[in-house]
Structure 1
Amino acid sequence: MKTLRLTLESFRFAWQALKSNLLRTVLSLLGVTVGIFAIIAVFAVVDSLESNVRKSMSFVGDKVIYVGKWPWAFGGEYPWWKYFNRPVPTVREFRELQKLLGPNNKGVAIFGAVGGSVLKSGSNSVSDCALQGVSFEYRKVSDVPIAEGRYFTSQEVDGARNVAIIGATIAENLYPNGSAIGQEFNARGRKFVVVGVMQKEGKKLLDTPSNDTNCLIPFGMFTKMFALNTGGMTGVTPTIAVKGSDDDPGLLDLEYELQGVMRNIRGLKPRQEDNFALNRPEMLANAISQLFSIIGVAGAVIGSFAMLVGGFGIANIMFVSVKERTNIIGIQKSLGAKNYFILFQFLFEAIFLCLIGGAAGIFLVYLITLVPQDSLPMFLSAGNIVLGLTVSVVIGVLAGIIPAVLASNLDPVIAIRSK
């Protein structure tokens, strides 16, 4: 109880000292405010960039392995012509994978896309759209957020019916005065009925495929409209995607099983190399994480210089404060004040200064996040707030500990005689 009372008394003395020298307090806060602002602003920008980039790459899905002809990342000195001569995935292989894969997968899908399509409905039209043919389980391997209507039924996909799920931009342009559900539009000389509208994504930082201008149709109908690549130079090359289960966090079991099944389907002998690529979004995610971790460290180092200047400013002010209040310290000690009471008094004052300055810097970063940005919306995470306040406390302790120790060790007789 006594310790708590002395601590509160130290807080009160520190607060009174700050209020009595308001102008000096404000000026000393500027260095810490700028330092914390620089550090937290860098981390906020890095977090926002990383979040936006990952959002832009969300179309590749999570816990998914893609079966393709080309690897996403070339390694070693593997000749490019070996990749070029590989066969492309086929619908037959997709059907075989559906039958032969075990419980390590949660769904197998095949899809293909063609860009630059024009969709028309009456006098309205929208250009540069992507027509994407998908199998029924496509929504298991990729994000298809339905805002209005529904997803395809298995009967619609198996029957290759003329139904479609369109993006928000397509719906806004084709049907500006009402709901798009149940409406018809023309694409490549065929009529389609809208059964679903996807949620609006808005602009992305990266120029990646967006659901806003995407039109999903059953894969069977897609193959009627476009010729599939069967290994030559022409036609649409389909992609096969396999969704992993939650019980296989590294997808290692699924990858080994998928590799064995694909080799069996293509009739490869034990000593023959794989003539297919198994690509995983983790390749991109790991590269993104490494890139932004480097950017974050570089930004923190740059911001720390501003924080260092602020810390020296606080230390200088604390030395001045000890010099000005030497007489008061002597009186306090002559009345029975302990050394730790004097120590806490000045240490709390330094921490107060840094906390107020840090809070001001964090508030400035928060104000920046309120500025509307279409391509890069910024946000201030709770982790960055805690980091800013923690750094402020640490700087306060480091900047105030030496002046506080000097004040606590003053001889009361000499201190009282000082002017």
Structure 2
Amino acid sequence: MQFLRQVLESFRFAWQALRSNLLRTTLSLLGVTIGIFAIIAVFTLVDSLERSVKDSLSFIGDKVLYVQKWPWTFGGDYQWWKYFQRPEPTYKEYRFLSDKLENAAAVVAMDFKGRVTVKRNNNSMASLIQGTTFDYNKISDVPTVNGRYFTQQEMNLARNVTVIGGEVADNLFPDEDPVGKVIKINGSNFTVIGVQEKKGQGLINFGGNPDIKCLIPYGSFAKMFHSINPSIDIAIKGYESDEGLLELESEIRGLMRTRRGVRPTQEDNFAINRPDAAAEAIGGIFGVLTVAGWVIGGFSILIGGFGIANIMFVSVKERTNIIGIQKSLGAKNYFILFQFLFEAILLSLVGGLAGISLVYLLSFIKLGTLTLHLTAGNIMLGLGVSSIIGIISGIIPAFSASRLDPVVAIRAK
């Protein structure tokens, strides 16, 4: 109990010392403030980017492979001339893969047409039309806030029905329920059967912004937009048990090479793309940003740490006489040590809190489609780094103060 009382008394002395030298306190914590701001700002930016990328990729699908003409590559030279002569995937190849694949949970054909006019009475807008097959909701997130998804019969018979995005619903039906109403897509009548939940523009939007999209059966899409040699994207979802989708990718490659008559010595004339490749590529960029944040913040914190240590040595020098009096009255060495160590930690924590507060204010700034989120983990990281800097900066001055001879200290001027 006595020990706890002395610790609290040390804390009170430290707080009074900081309050009595506000200007000096403010100047000495600037380095820590800038350092913590740099580190936590970068971490917050990286976390927010990762969250945005994951949200965007959730619409592409988890454990999904895409069979396409063009490969997704990140970094390096893109050898477009090498892929230019490749044939486009076709609906017949989709049917072939759908019938033959054994390691696939779902096989989907899809195609897109941008800036198509959709109308309802006097309201109209440019929309993205996506034709797709029945299992599309198994590979991609299609949350409906009103109505329903397609039935198998509607897909098989290529009915003129559509699931519209949130912005399409707001623009064409500002004051009424869209479900059951008829809209015109490229001049053809389509009945709205569902409205998707608003998702917002993501950092990565494969297939476009879902809020301005109209999903329709692939057969209806083909009748409106396909003429000679129609091409599609083929999306294939694997089973959870297929770790890394290795079995599915190997099976797809074998079937596609067989279907297209590719000889054993020839390269694939198609691409098997993975959404997680995009996440890994962007993750590498995040890693570089994180290192940069630590380097920039580290230099600022180092300067701030030296500033705090310097201030603490000055404080010890100024209060040497008081230390001697405290020791002559029975103060233990740890009481003196805690007094100055707490002062250094408090000084560093105030700087850290100031830096975190700046990041919090930064989170209110709109950065296009990106929303910054200051997480509890980053706050704890900032406070933890600040505390460590305070301990490192204050331990030597505090130890030197605790070892002062009381007789010599009292006589100091």
Alignment match, 1:121: 120
1:137 CA displacement: 0.8
1:15 CA displacement: 2.8
1:106 CA displacement: 2.3
Asked if the contact 2:49/2:370 (under 8 Å) is kept, the reply is yes
Alignment match, 1:107: 106
Asked if the contact 2:65/2:235 (under 8 Å) is kept, the reply is yes
Alignment match, 1:167: 165
Secondary structure in 2 matching 1:29? helix
Q: Which consecutive residues of structure 2, in runs of 5 or more, have no partner in the other structure?
A: none
Alignment match, 2:45: 45
- More displaced stretch, 92-101 vs 172-181: 92-101
Q: TM-score normalised to the size of structure 2?
A: 0.90
Identity %: 59
Q: Which amino acid aligns with 2:406?
A: P
Alignment match, 1:157: 155
Alignment match, 2:174: 176
Secondary structure in 2 matching 1:25? helix
Alignment match, 1:93: 93
Compared with structure 1, are the counterparts of its residues 389 and 266 closer, same or farther at alpha carbon in structure 2 (3 Å cutoff)?
Answer: same
The residue correspondences of 1:321-336 to structure 2 (distance < 5 A) are: 321-336=315-330
Mapped pair 1:213 → 2:207:
no
Q: Alpha-carbon deviations, 1:85-113, whole Å to 9, x = none?
A: 333222222223223222x4321111011
Secondary structure in 2 matching 1:38? helix
Compared with structure 1, are the counterparts of its residues 268 and 238 closer, same or farther at alpha carbon in structure 2 (3 Å cutoff)?
Answer: same
Asked if the contact 2:53/2:279 (under 8 Å) is kept, the reply is no
1:145 CA displacement: 2.6
Q: Alpha-carbon deviations, 1:245-277, whole Å to 9, x = none?
A: 222332222212222232343344544433321
Mapped pair 1:257 → 2:251:
yes
In structure 2, how many angstroms separate the alpha carbons of the residues matched to 1:33 and 1:78? Answer: 43
Compared with structure 1, are the counterparts of its residues 384 and 206 closer, same or farther at alpha carbon in structure 2 (3 Å cutoff)?
Answer: same
Aligned length: 412
In structure 2, how many angstroms separate the alpha carbons of the residues matched to 1:250 and 1:64? Answer: 10
1:157 CA displacement: 0.9
Alignment match, 2:221: 222
Mapped pair 1:364 → 2:363:
no
In structure 2, how many angstroms separate the alpha carbons of the residues matched to 1:398 and 1:77? Answer: 48
Mapped pair 1:196 → 2:190:
no
Alignment match, 2:412: 418
Asked if the contact 1:203/1:374 (under 8 Å) is kept, the reply is no
In structure 2, how many angstroms separate the alpha carbons of the residues matched to 1:78 and 1:183? Answer: 46
In structure 2, how many angstroms separate the alpha carbons of the residues matched to 1:349 and 1:75? Answer: 50
Which of 272, 287, 290 matches 2:281? 287
1:288 CA displacement: 0.7
CA RMSD of aligned residues (A): 2.6
In structure 1, how many angstroms separate the alpha carbons of the residues matched to 2:79 and 2:298? Answer: 47
1:50 CA displacement: 4.0
Q: TM-score normalised to the size of structure 1?
A: 0.89
Secondary structure in 1 matching 2:240? coil
Asked if the contact 2:36/2:352 (under 8 Å) is kept, the reply is yes
Secondary structure in 2 matching 1:106? strand
